[in-house]
A and B are shown apart, each in its own frame.
Chain A
């Protein structure tokens, strides 16, 4: 099964995504910080899709994305930003950094499922 990792400093946000993905044919891992996720990736974790929050302490979504692009194993891994931010300039910046897409909170569960299925090419 494809591995999807979620990174968000909000436990309640992670719980909401868990309720959406529990019926999908995917394996899910969740992290409360980008540094925790990055540590696992450096230890050999190879996600098929990464969905991350933007505004997080210590390392924000863009910094996380830049770190991911430095590692061979996540150089081309699709990354979706899941955030309350709606500013166009941030989307432009994200696109330039190699982001796959932008999802605005509160997300519509059906649309999040569709987005994950589309990126992972699930039947």
Chain B
């Protein structure tokens, strides 16, 4: 069991690292593209400017996913500790971990929806005045 948990933790750490690298690489790519446009006084059309904003959304989505992974890792660590100390506590911890993983998933899904903006929506006008 402990070996399984260690492998799972390692896999989550790997996913987190790949996500962080993706955030950094997409930002760097986007900034170099912007520098090229600005340095050469080029004009980006509306469709290009709209597409340029996707990096920000990708970055927010991946950051939310990293947050979810970190909370799952914290639960796994708690469970691993309980498992190594006492069987009865470990059984209780399984139930608790199940609940917490469910919460982490719900929270992650809510953030995915909140950080998607107008992407995937048919909403033409994204501006509202109060």
Chain B binding surface, main DSSP class: helix
Asked whether B88 is an interface residue with its Cβ less than 8 Å from the other chain, the reply is no
Q: For residue B46, which residues in chain A have a CB less than 8 angstroms away from its CB? A: 108-110
How far, in angstroms, from A20 to B34 measured CA to CA in the complex?
A: 13
> Are the CB atoms of B57 and A103 closer together than 8 Å?
no
Whether a CB of chain B sits under 8 angstroms from the CB of A12 is: yes
Q: Beyond A11-B31, A12-B30, A19-B37, is A100–B130 a contact (Cβ under 8 Å)? A: yes
Q: Which of A87-123 contact B (CB under 8 A)?
A: 87, 91, 94-95, 99-112, 114-115, 118
Listed in ascending order, the chain A residues whose CB lies under 8 Å from chain B are: 8, 10-13, 15-16, 18-20, 55, 83-87, 91, 94-95, 99-112, 114-115, 118
A-B contact pairs, 20 of them (CB 8 A): A10-B59, A11-B31, A12-B31, A13-B56, A16-B49, A16-B52, A19-B37, A55-B60, A85-B117, A86-B118, A95-B130, A100-B130, A103-B127, A104-B123, A107-B50, A107-B53, A109-B49, A109-B50, A115-B127, A118-B129
